[in-house]
Structure 1
């Protein structure tokens, strides 16, 4: 999971915590953080999760993380791959 630091306080994304696992991070978060490790810091990941995503049909990754984790992982891969021209 990633954190956001603001004025010395660590904040965690509540949308990544699953009630089914005792509010531990969902398994997909580990994959997504690895995908973004060399590309985005905590704030960059937070913005990505919050933004409408064309790879997800205009939905936000944070809204689909628990219900469609594989789609969100694929959207993260698409994000780091960038736009392919040709």
Structure 2
């Protein structure tokens, strides 16, 4: 994978990449991309690419950049071909000087009512809870997960979140709860309390078992 390939990969998944990085990692990303822009010889380019790949290791296992780096050919090439095109790099850097670009799917999930980590009546990293990283507000916990008027997690939500592997894929789990479900006839989060817990659990088991 050449430097140009790596930059193109980031460009194609830029909103998802920024959304998955902590603020300090975003600052480091700015510095690394700037060093790649400023690199004037193949050795400097290779050093910047190595730094960039190390930084990207913090992305979730299911992230498209992670998957592409895992499956792609390791960075290689002759000295004459290791200088990246700076135009797309400058475009990416320009976005880093402002707010992260919007990812419509994630923006919709973040718009749902939620609690801050300090207000959650459970361990903030509980694998039975969905926590979504907001670019400005930090971690947010969708409100449907909790008993009405409290910060106590609903047992059925905790069980289903574990089936959905919310600890590894919180965005996917949130999408299941907040998106339409033809089998259930609506968004599962809106059906809590009106549809039997067993039916909700059966719906997600059908999904999980169908993926294997």
TM-score normalised by L of structure 2 = 0.34
Matches within 5 A, 1:1-86: 1-7=129-135, 9-19=138-148, 22-37=150-165, 41-56=169-184, 58-68=185-195, 69-82=197-210
**Structure in which a larger fraction of residues adopt strand:** 1
Distance 1:67 1:24 in 2: 19
Which secondary structure does the structure 1 equivalent of 2:139 belong to? strand
What's the RMSD between the two structures over aligned residues?
A: 2.2
Total equivalences in the alignment? 80
Deviation at 1:75, TM superposition (A): 1.1
User: Does the Cα contact within 8 Å between 1:16 and 1:66 map onto a contact in 2?
Assistant: no
Superposition TM-score, scaled by structure 1 size = 0.77
* Runs of 4+ that moved beyond 6 A: none
Give 1 or 2 for the bigger CA radius of gyration: 2
Residues 132 and 170 in structure 2, CA contact (< 8 A), matched pair in contact too? yes
* Contact preservation (8 Å) 1:26, 1:66: no
CA distance in structure 2 between the aligned counterparts of 1:81 and 1:54, rounded to whole angstroms: 17
